[in-house]
Amino acid sequence: MTDAISSFGAVGRPVSIHTDGAAKARLKGRYRTETWFKWLGAGAVALAGLFLVLLLSTIVTQAIPALRQNYLTLPIDLSAAKVDPAKLDEVNYDAIAQEALAARFPDVTSRQDRRLLRGLISTGTGVFLRKDIAADPGMLGGTVDYAVPVDDFADLYLKGLLADVGSDEAISTSVTPSKTSGDIDLTFGDDAMLALARGRGATEGENGMLTLTSGASSLLVVFNGGTVKLTALWPGPSGTAVAKGTVIEALDSTAPAASGQAFLRVIDTPEASRKISDKEIVWLDTLKSAGQIESRFNSIFFFTGASREPELAGVWGAVVGSFLTMIVTLAIAFPIGVSAAIYLEEFAPKNRLTTIIEVNINNLAAVPSIVFGLLGLAVFLNFFGMPRSAPVVGGMVLALMTLPIIIIASRASLRAVPPSIREAALGIGASKAQTVFHHVLPLAMPGIMTGTILGMAHALGETAPLLMIGMVAFIVDIPGGFTDPATILPVQIFMWADFPEAGFQQKTSAAILILLLFLVIMNAIAVILRRRFERRW
Amino acid sequence: MTEAGVEQKLSSGTNAPSIKMKGEKVSVHYGEKRALFDVDLDVRENQVTALIGPSGCGKSTFLRCLNRMNDTIDIARVSGKITLDGEDVYDPKIDVVELRARVGMVFQKPNPFPKSIYENVAYGPRIHGLARSKSELDGIVESSLKKAGLFNEVKDRLLESGTGLSGGQQQRLCIARAIAVSPEVILMDEPCSALDPIATARVEELIDELRQNYTIVIVTHSMQQAARVSQRTAMFHLGYLVEEGATDKMFTNPDDKRTQDYITGRFG
């Protein structure tokens, strides 16, 4: 045996071509390639996962603040003197709410400040109040505590998104005010405040004068039941410090506050680089500490239509628009697509004409979606004169776009049904149509449904074709039917992303989250249907 | 029976079974390629006719001509004449659905529908409207399963999926499905090639029993099987019918050298 092998190896080969050194090296090389591939694959998956997590966490963290909205509870006077029950439509409800707010801050007297104060509550307050009174006339006749949504900037501030506000720190020296309101002087027991102001961006002047401009952090001294904003500081006699300040909330008295009785509140973000003034911050903080501000689930966002005011803007109109559009798309694309697929796959003769049709259907799937929008504009709107911005037209355009996807998916799943099933049915005398509808189609259905749902999900996320047919319009009302003007979720996201107001940033992310949720639900349905109806043969 | 059928019955003598199906100069082209060359072959009533020959010799092609299953292949073109009880099955007046109800087929790979055992058998009678009531349909299903020798094994699970049965049971289910529509002829295309010897033996027994009521044409690669179950054997080679005759004679004293060589295992 050994002789035989070694005689074979006499031509220069060792014992066996599968066990010699070169073979071992080749084998090692093969395993190395495999290992490389495995690691590369795992790396690609990990990278993709990382990006997905990054994307989702960004959107989710951005979106979370939009899920809640702050409400300010005000005692609103709805007595007959203010609201005539017989003429509910003629009442200026906004004015009533604003009066209630003004009454809460009697010190605010200047026109400018009063306007600023009014801006704390949403401009939609009057509308909410009127609706609620119409729904519950029992509110009339007296003063009721009514929660109104706060304005978008106030809301953002309360959510901590506009300015960094430090907690109140006790001042370890005495503070003596010169007056209780207006521009006043404050005398501090020691000069610690000077060093603090320097560290907070105060501008150094002559004789140790420190000026706190709007480019520096705001220093607020809270004592004697009021708040004073410091504007300038300088060293006083015998180690004290003197400050000039503006009273934002009137002090109770000019009595000196003992050490530890006054508090310093620092707003790190300089007033110039935030969209909310010190005054507003102080008012809001006062309201908050009085328990008048409450964070609630943002039902406005989920259940109302679009608005130019961030705190009043909701996605419901877009959700309903998307839903109506999808119904039209499904109702058109599914039956036509599946019928076309069945005809082409099972009945059509295989000739030049059907080949051309097939190639063109495949090409149609690759046509940029905006072209379908142009087609919709030219044919449905201009030629047939259908309504602009309507879900029915949007649905038709998206149906055109989805058709090739459904046809291709349906044909693939029809083709995947084994020929043995067809032969079995034909062999016992089933007609062509019976074979297709009793046996082939049921088996292809999971694949067809999966393809359809994925096509629909694709259509749901489509913006471009709908821009062409006017679904990008600013539509406040929630669409009530297929011909009402409507917009859809992706277009709504597109529009919000374009608005400059900071409040829309969170809304945009939240709307993206809702769209993603829709897509996840649709894909989950696709998976469930496939699992459920998948049959083995 | 048609005139031609009567004539054939008379001419073939009193004892010989009458001719059920007759192929005359049957040729098949798949596109440019010719698969069958002028085959003349008779299928006799209540007999098992075995078609043997090496792979690609055209025996399955001929079988599929008998119930026009070749119609489903776009490029297939059949010429010549095939008659069933004297009627040309390729006559445009003949309805292919009716033909396939009369000439049933069992395939190489068991192919039950992915439905219940009951539904598998009941499907044929239902589409052909053979049962007027549920109880009548139940009766057809039961008798078909009994004839196929499967009833005792599945009577307690008629509503379970037909695809859950073993390979041999599946093939017998397919046979039950074929006989449920009461065909006159049953075509079997290598019905045992996917089965183990025990299941094969059961199906062969079944074929022998079915011969009493049906005319059977079977394609097989197994010489032993052809010898065991058939009364007549036809040997195909390269698209030509080499020889046809009584099975006993074919296996003991064939006229053609190629048949001799094939049967004894010298080629194929």
Render pLDDT for A368-405 as a digit per residue (tens, 0 to 9): 999 999 999 999 999 999 998 999 999 999 999 999 99
**Sequence-ordered list of residues with C-beta below 8 angstroms from that of A365, at least 6 positions apart, any chain:** A404, A405, A408
- Indicate if the pLDDT at residue A7 is higher than 50: no
What's the pLDDT tens digit per position in A297-340?
A: 999 999 988 888 888 999 999 999 999 999 999 999 999 999 99
pLDDT at position A14, please?
Answer: 55
Note whether B72 contacts A428, CB cutoff 8 Å.
no
Helices (H) and strands (E) in chain A, counts: 19, 12
Note whether A424 contacts B127, CB cutoff 8 Å.
no
Mean pLDDT of the residues in chain A: 89
For B3-112+185-263, CATH gives: 3.40.50.300
Note whether A426 contacts B100, CB cutoff 8 Å.
yes
Please, which pLDDT band fits residue A534 given cuts at 50, 70 and 90?
confident
CA-atom Rg of chain A in angstroms: 36
A431 vs B contacts (CB less than 8 Å): 97, 127
- Indicate if the pLDDT at residue B9 is higher than 70: no
Sign of CA dihedral A156, A158, A161, A163: positive
Arithmetic mean of pLDDT, A429-451: 92
pLDDT at position A225, please?
Answer: 86
- Indicate if the pLDDT at residue A421 is higher than 60: yes
Q: How far is A421 from chain B (nearest CA, A)?
A: 6
What's the pLDDT tens digit per position in A161-197?
A: 888 887 788 888 889 999 888 899 999 988 888 888 8
Note whether A420 contacts B74, CB cutoff 8 Å.
no
Q: How far apart are CA B207 and CA B218, in angstroms?
A: 9
Residue found under tokens 């355009």: A397
CATH topology of domain A312-533: MetI-like fold (1.10.3720)
What's the pLDDT tens digit per position in B61-73?
A: 999 999 999 888 8
Note whether B97 contacts A428, CB cutoff 8 Å.
no
3-class DSSP state for residue A524?
A: helix
Q: How far from chain centre, in Å, is Cα A414?
A: 40
Q: How far apart are CA B235 and CA B227, in angstroms?
A: 12
Note whether B111 contacts A423, CB cutoff 8 Å.
yes
Please, are residues B220 and B190 in contact by the beta-carbon 8 Å criterion? yes
Arithmetic mean of pLDDT, B239-261: 91
- Indicate if the pLDDT at residue A237 is higher than 90: no
pLDDT at position A214, please?
Answer: 85
- CA nearest neighbour of B237 among B37, B30, B27, B26: B37
Provide DSSP, A399-443: HHHHHHHHHHHHHHHHHTS-HHHHHHHHHTT--HHHIIIIIIHHH
pLDDT at position A471, please?
Answer: 86
CA angle (A73 as vertex; A68, A74 as ends), nearest 5 = 150
Classify residue A16 by its DSSP letter.
-
- CA nearest neighbour of B27 among B239, B237, B235: B239
Give the best residue of A428, A436, A443 to mutate against chain B (max B CB count within 10 A). A428
Among the partner-chain residues A421, A428, A431, the one whose CB lies closest to the CB of B177 is A428
pLDDT at position A376, please?
Answer: 92
What's the pLDDT tens digit per position in B175-232?
A: 999 999 999 999 999 998 888 888 889 889 989 989 999 999 999 988 889 999 999 9
Give the best residue of B71, B97, B115, B174 to mutate against chain A (max A CB count within 10 A). B97
Chain A residue with CA closest to B187: the answer is A427
Q: What ipTM does this complex have? A: 0.87
Among the partner-chain residues B67, B105, B127, the one whose CB lies closest to the CB of A434 is B127
Q: How far apart are CA B267 and CA B259, in angstroms?
A: 10
- Indicate if the pLDDT at residue A9 is higher than 60: no
Note whether B127 contacts A421, CB cutoff 8 Å.
no
A438 vs B contacts (CB less than 8 Å): 123, 127
- Indicate if the pLDDT at residue A55 is higher than 90: yes
pLDDT at position A13, please?
Answer: 55
- Indicate if the pLDDT at residue A6 is higher than 50: no
Chain B residue with CA closest to A537: the answer is B114
Among the partner-chain residues B98, B107, B123, the one whose CB lies closest to the CB of A423 is B107
Q: What percent of chain A has pLDDT over 70?
A: 97
Chain A residue with CA closest to B99: the answer is A429
Q: How far is A417 from chain B (nearest CA, A)?
A: 11
Please, are residues B135 and B103 in contact by the beta-carbon 8 Å criterion? no
Provide DSSP, A267-302: E-S-GGGSSS-HHHHHHHHHHHHTT-EEEEE-HHHH
Q: How far is B243 from chain A (nearest CA, A)?
A: 28
pLDDT at position A476, please?
Answer: 86
Q: How far apart are CA B154 and CA B143, in angstroms?
A: 13
pLDDT at position B264, please?
Answer: 86
Note whether B104 contacts A438, CB cutoff 8 Å.
no
Chain A residue with CA closest to B121: the answer is A428
Residues of A with CB under 8 A from a CB of B: 349-350, 418, 420-431, 434, 438-439, 443, 535-537
The domain limits of chain A are 2-64, 175-271, 312-533
Arithmetic mean of pLDDT, A502-509: 90
Note whether A427 contacts B105, CB cutoff 8 Å.
yes
Q: How far apart are CA A331 and CA B190, in angstroms?
A: 47
Q: How far apart are CA A103 and CA B94, in angstroms?
A: 97
A349 vs B contacts (CB less than 8 Å): 74
pLDDT at position A501, please?
Answer: 86
Please, are residues A406 and A330 in contact by the beta-carbon 8 Å criterion? no
- Indicate if the pLDDT at residue A447 is higher than 50: yes
What's the pLDDT tens digit per position in B19-34?
A: 899 999 999 999 899 9
Q: How far apart are CA B55 and CA B61, in angstroms?
A: 11
Q: How far apart are CA B233 and CA A368, in angstroms?
A: 63
What's the pLDDT tens digit per position in A58-113?
A: 999 999 999 999 999 999 988 888 888 888 888 889 999 999 999 999 888 889 99
Q: What percent of chain A has pLDDT over 90?
A: 54
Q: How far apart are CA B82 and CA B90, in angstroms?
A: 7
- Indicate if the pLDDT at residue A528 is higher than 50: yes
CA-atom Rg of chain B in angstroms: 18
| Alpha-carbon torsion angle A519, A525, A530, A532, nearest 10 | 170
Strand B76-84 and strand B87-88: the pairing is antiparallel
User: Which tokens sit at B256?
Assistant: 């053609």
